[in-house]
Amino acid sequence: MADSLTSDVATGRALLAPALAQRGGLCVLTGAGMSAESGIATFRDALTGYWSRFDPMDLASEDGFRANPERVWRWYAERRAGVRAAQPNAGHIALANLARRLPGVMTLVTQNVDDLHQRAGNTETIQLHGDILHDQWLGACQRHRRGGNVCDPDWAQPAEPPSCAECGNLVRPGVVWFGENLPLRALNAAEHNASNCAVLLVVGTSGAVWPAAGLASRARRQGATVIILNPAESEIDAEAHLVLRGTAARVLPALLATEGDGGW
Ligand code: APR
């Protein structure tokens, strides 16, 4: 680590110390950069080869899915395979270790649709943009409309995409597409945690996608210290009290090392 980054990490540890002594004291917000060192391409970076001919709206919107369900299903099948093959990196593990050593202190909010935080051990992760491995129905379940239980998407007839044998409803991935609202419960929880923490640590996000990007200014307005970790400039750097110019897998283990790792 370059000398200036080492001293910035020491500053970061000093800023974090009081937050780690209180319940909910640390809120962590992660973005695509968190999973970069696990080899998961961002949505736009994955638009290569065959997929480069498509507009993001063709592949990640309800209209795009309705226009060509098979194409969108295959795009997500490839991305799902990439997520399943990836492993949590040292940054995910550092966050999970902190949560285990200091129960109740850290809340974790992610824009990522992969499950690497959960597989590292952060099972309570708040997923603002959904879960790419989760299946859900495209439309309302007709059986449920008639007063029955919602059909389980797992019962759908296998195809690309699977569909309901009774009503033809299609299965779609459980991610938030362009033009869709974020899951309200997740957004409320994220805003609550950002508003009430002592330190908001923002890792690997460009700060270009709202409402997640607004969590930094929200936390700062409520008196929190904001630390940003990103190897490149982000659109919310101005909200930060401290910017760490490094990568998640390299810096988080040093920033968050706990007692057993020779830290707190
Ligand atoms: N460690 C930390 N940050 C990194 C790393 C790394 N190893 N590599 C890249 N980054 C940073 C980049 O500098 C960039 O600022 O991660 C950020 C990724 O930015 P985006 O791709 O815009 O990702 P994100 O901010 O999560 O975008 C939000 O947009 O595509 C949608 O739903 C998708 O959740 C995503 C949302």
- Which residues, other chains included, contact 173 with Cβ-Cβ below 8 Å and sequence gap of 6+? 76, 80, 130, 132, 134, 135, 136
Q: Residue 232 burial (CB < 10 Å; 0-12/13-18/19+)?
A: exposed
What amino acid positions are annotated as catalytic residues?
Answer: 129
Enumerate residues lining ligand 1, CB below 6 A: 31-33, 36-37, 42-43, 111, 129, 203-206, 208-209, 230-232, 234, 247-248
Q: How does pLDDT run along the chain (264 residues), one tens digit per residue? A: 778 999 999 999 999 999 999 999 999 999 999 999 999 988 888 888 899 999 999 999 999 999 999 999 999 999 999 999 999 999 999 999 999 999 999 999 999 999 999 999 999 999 999 999 999 999 999 988 888 889 999 999 999 999 999 999 999 999 999 999 999 999 999 999 999 999 999 999 999 999 999 999 999 999 999 999 999 999 999 999 999 999 999 999 999 997 666 555
Closest CA to 220 of 232, 238, 204: 238
Same fold for the pair 1-39+88-129+179-264 and 41-85+132-175: no
Write the CATH number of the domain with boundaries 41-85+132-175. 3.30.1600
pLDDT recorded at residue 42? 84
Q: Three-state SS for 178?
A: strand
Q: What would the two tokens of residue 78 be?
A: 């490839």
| CA 230 to ligand 1 centroid distance, Å | 9
Amino acid letter at 226?
Answer: V
Rounded CA gap, 68 and 207, in Å? Answer: 31
Q: Where are the domains of the chain?
A: 1-39+88-129+179-264, 41-85+132-175
Distance between terminal CA atoms of the chain? 20
Q: What would the two tokens of residue 96 be?
A: 């999970």
| Sign of the CA dihedral running 218, 219, 225, 227 | negative
Q: To test the ligand 1 pocket, which listed residue (1, 9, 42) has its Cβ within 8 A of the most ligand atoms? A: 42
| CA 26 to ligand 1 centroid distance, Å | 21
CB environment 98-109: b (16+ within 10 A), e (fewer):
bbebbeebbbbb
pLDDT recorded at residue 259? 66
pLDDT recorded at residue 115? 98
Q: What are phi and psi of 34, to 5 degrees?
A: -60, -35
**23: number of Cβ within 10 Å:** 11
Does the domain spanning 1-39+88-129+179-264 belong to CATH 3.40.630.10?
no
**80: number of Cβ within 10 Å:** 15
Q: Residue 4 burial (CB < 10 Å; 0-12/13-18/19+)?
A: exposed
Instruction: Characterize the bridge pairing of strands 171-175 and 130-137.
Output: antiparallel
| CA 206 to ligand 1 centroid distance, Å | 5
Locate the ligand 1 atom nearest the alpha carbon of residue 113 and give its number.
34
DSSP state of 61: B
